Amino acid sequence: MGIGTWSWGNQLLWGYNEEMDDELQQVFNLCVSKGIRLFDTGDSYGTGRLNGQSEKLLGKFMEEYARQNGGVYPNIGTKFASYPWRLTVGRNKACDESAERLRRPVDIGQIHWSTANYFPWQERVLWESLVSLYKSGRCRAVGVSNYGPQQLRKIHAFLQDNGVPLASNQIQYSLLSRTVGEEVKEVCDELGIAMIAYSPLGLGLLSGRYQSKDDLPKGPRGFVFRERVEEVAPLLECLREVADQRGKTIAQVAINWCLCKDTIPIPGAKSLKQAEENLGAVGWRLTMSEVEVLDLAAKRVPRELVQNIFQTK
């Protein structure tokens, strides 16, 4: 399991403010001390004047943790936004800027999204940039995000021809977003690519915290959840039954389901309490029959969560 840090710097969707930083340092410390070795970030994470804040906080937290614990560093996977002005192989610059914010070289450099759906001619430049990042030694490994089965095969073949291994593909995958993930997982397995499951808690809907229209998060998530809380209720009930039998929480079971599907979930955590709970998702496994019961309950939910607009075929 890794930890997602999209919310660290995002005021608009996640209600971040800088007063949270001390607690986020504690979240980071706890996770690393409990063995978490992957943090996910992106150069576009952070809203307005806080652009790049997630990488900056990780840089600061890593330095502080390493100072206190004799140079222990986790791996950082960052994602380079496929902005239209990043048209040249000059994406090395984006990586150098991320490394500056992280105060360390980038471990896994990923294309945040493919441009195949809207600027197909930019796509090849993105692929070439991964070759350049890997061969110049700027990133220890390279990966992609929001690549569907077809596009994944194409970039894998291109990188292979250029002698570059494709380490990972990051996809929205949870009990509320299974269809695309299942198709992608088959290709990942065939090609030897790790599948990183983002939004494994369905943006918080699978934490069990939001169960009625009177108790929803502020902002855009509240609008999405308003339409979904009722139809997700039977799935949450099923999660609760499994959780009670196991002495776990709903969130822990939802994350463990992703682990049982042989993916690497990267749940977001905004507080020490959430991080502590989510860390309890590892070190045990749901049985096959528990997974089947959850699969069935998930299939009965009328709609999955909306896919990322950049998700390709």
Ligand X SMILES: NC(=O)c1ccc[n+]([C@@H]2O[C@H](COP(=O)([O-])OP(=O)(O)OC[C@H]3O[C@@H](n4cnc5c(N)ncnc54)[C@H](OP(=O)(O)O)[C@@H]3O)[C@@H](O)[C@H]2O)c1
Least separation in angstroms between residue 150's CB and ligand X is: 18
The reply on whether position 109 binds ligand X by CB under 6 A is no
Q: Taking CB under 6 A as the criterion, which residues in 57-86 touch ligand X?
A: 79
102 CB burial (10 A radius; 0-12, 13-18, 19+): buried
The reply on whether position 269 binds ligand X by CB under 6 A is yes
> For residue 77, what are the β-bridge partners?
40, 108
Of the candidates 274, 286, 301, 312, which one interacts with ligand X according to CB under 6 A?
A: 274
Q: At residue 25, what is the residue type?
A: Q
CA-wise closest residue to 171 among 157, 184, 158, 152 = 184
162 vs 246 by CB, closer to ligand X: 246
132 vs 169 by CB, closer to ligand X: 169
Which tokens sit at 194?
Answer: 């790790």
Of the candidates 238, 268, 294, 297, which one interacts with ligand X according to CB under 6 A?
A: 268
Quick one: angle between helices 149-161 and 179-191, nearest 10?
A: 20
74 vs 267 by CB, closer to ligand X: 267
Least separation in angstroms between residue 217's CB and ligand X is: 5
The reply on whether position 209 binds ligand X by CB under 6 A is yes
Q: Taking CB under 6 A as the criterion, which residues in 87-106 touch ligand X?
A: none
CA-wise closest residue to 195 among 261, 257, 290, 121 = 261
Which of these segments, 22-30, 133-141, 268-276, 296-304, binds ligand X (CB under 6 A)?
268-276
198 is catalytic: no
Determine contact, residues 55/97, Cβ cutoff 8 Å: no
Determine contact, residues 77/108, Cβ cutoff 8 Å: yes
CA separation for the pair 197, 218 (Å, rounded): 25
The site for ligand X (CB under 6 A) is made up of: 4-7, 14, 40, 79, 145-146, 170, 198-204, 207, 209, 217, 251, 266-270, 274, 277-278, 308
Catalytic residue numbers, as ranges = 45
